[in-house]
Each structure stands twice: as structure tokens, then as C-alpha cells.
């Protein structure tokens, strides 16, 4: 296992997602600290019908990574994730959202990607503490930047979204699963 994969796994198994997500993105994947972003209260309609707080985790080239402390012990389903996306879209059309369950045992990384047709596509990678999750670790490693990539400043937004698209590429994950 590579050093990056070991570090990602250490962050995910630390038992404190609220703190470890910032360390994961800022210290291991080399995204920047969230500048100008503050926690925001978000009113989410049906089927969630809840008030959620969105916390900034990291940011790169204007694309934020945000955390949601989910109010249940199970991760939200696709319908609930769509409701959160709808409420969040006026603030950040494209973003990476990290849902943490109330019991702190699961996290889901959801990439809200703008498609060329204007629709938003949600792609999700779940992680559960104590479960083997090599695919999730490898996919998160795809989001890492090397320090030499950041020497001349932040990469373009296109470079960042390309990394996110590769990391969350369902077809690549499925193909690799069957090859392995």
C-alpha cells in the first residue's frame, strides 16, 4: 500500500471525521484551506425536511469541499442527496460534499458535477469505519495533488474537475473491479 493510501486510511479510521476530513484534504491531498467560506445553515425540503449546517473543509480553485453532519445513523439515499444538492446549488453549483452519519461510523463523498446539458449529476463513494474499502481509498488518492503541481499557484478549475471526474468515474471503478 502506498504512503498516500496509508495516510488516507489513517484519516478515515481516526474516529473523528469532523477534524480528519480537513486534515485529509489539506495535508494529504494538498487542497487548500477554505478561504472566505463559513458554516452555513441550509433549509432542505422534502424528503429531508431538515435544517442542516454545511461546514467548509477545503477548497481548490474555487471548488469547495463541504461537510454535512447528517442527522441519521444511515447515509442519505439518492433522493435525500438530491434535495440537499437542490438547496445548496444557489451557493455552490459544483462541490464535493462529505456526509457524516450521526453515529460517526460512515461518510459518503458526493461529487456534484455539472453535465454539459446543464443538469447536475451526483456521484457518491461511501466509507464505513472498520470495513475494507480499498476502492474508496484508491479513488480518494486520485484527488491528490503533488507539490510540484502547486508550485506556480492553484491549478485551473478544469484540472480540479478533471481529477474529480476521474476519481468518481463509475465505469473505471467497475472495469477495475472485474479486472481484479
Q: What is the pTM of this model?
A: 0.88
Helix H or strand E segment including 124 = strand 120-128
pLDDT of residue 171: 60
What are the pLDDT digits (tens) for 102-122?
Answer: 999 999 999 988 888 988 889
Instruction: Give which of 45, 120, 40 is closest to 84, Cα–Cα.
Output: 45
Instruction: Give which of 55, 158, 49, 159 is closest to 98, Cα–Cα.
Output: 55
Q: Is the pLDDT assigned to residue 16 strictly greater than 90? A: no
Alpha-carbon Rg for the chain, nearest whole angstrom, is 16
pLDDT of residue 60: 94
Per cent of the chain over pLDDT 70 is 93
Domain that holds residue 130: 3-179
Q: Is the pLDDT assigned to residue 34 strictly greater than 60? A: yes
Instruction: Give which of 54, 44, 47, 53 is closest to 84, Cα–Cα.
Output: 44
What are the pLDDT digits (tens) for 120-161?
Answer: 889 999 998 888 778 899 999 999 998 888 888 889 999 999
Residue 13 CA to residue 11 CA, distance in Å, equals 6
Q: Is the pLDDT assigned to residue 172 strictly greater than 50? A: no
The number of domains in the chain is: 1
What are the Cα distances from residue 27, in Å, to 16, 21, 38, 125, 157? 16, 10, 20, 21, 20
Amino acid at each position: 500500500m502506498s504512503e498516500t493510501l496509508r495516510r488516507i486510511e489513517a484519516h478515515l479510521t481516526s474516529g473523528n471525521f469532523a477534524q480528519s476530513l480537513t486534515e485529509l484534504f489539506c495535508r494529504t491531498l494538498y487542497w487548500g484551506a477554505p478561504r472566505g467560506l463559513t458554516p452555513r445553515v441550509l433549509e432542505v425540503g422534502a424528503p429531508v425536511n431538515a435544517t442542516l449546517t454545511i461546514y467548509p473543509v477545503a477548497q481548490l480553485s474555487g471548488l469547495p469541499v463541504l461537510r454535512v453532519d447528517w442527522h441519521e445513523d444511515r447515509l442519505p439515499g439518492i433522493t435525500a442527496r438530491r434535495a440537499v444538492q437542490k438547496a445548496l446549488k444557489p451557493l455552490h453549483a459544483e462541490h464535493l460534499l462529505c456526509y457524516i452519519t450521526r453515529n460517526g461510523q460512515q461518510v459518503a463523498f458526493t461529487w456534484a458535477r455539472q453535465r454539459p446539458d446543464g443538469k447536475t449529476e451526483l456521484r457518491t463513494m461511501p466509507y464505513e469505519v472498520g470495513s475494507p474499502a480499498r476502492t474508496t481509498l484508491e479513488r480518494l488518492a486520485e484527488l491528490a495533488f503533488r507539490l510540484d503541481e502547486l508550485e506556480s499557484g492553484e491549478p485551473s478549475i478544469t484540472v480540479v474537475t478533471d481529477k474529480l471526474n476521474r476519481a468518481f468515474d463509475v465505469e473505471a471503478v467497475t472495469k477495475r473491479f472485474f479486472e481484479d
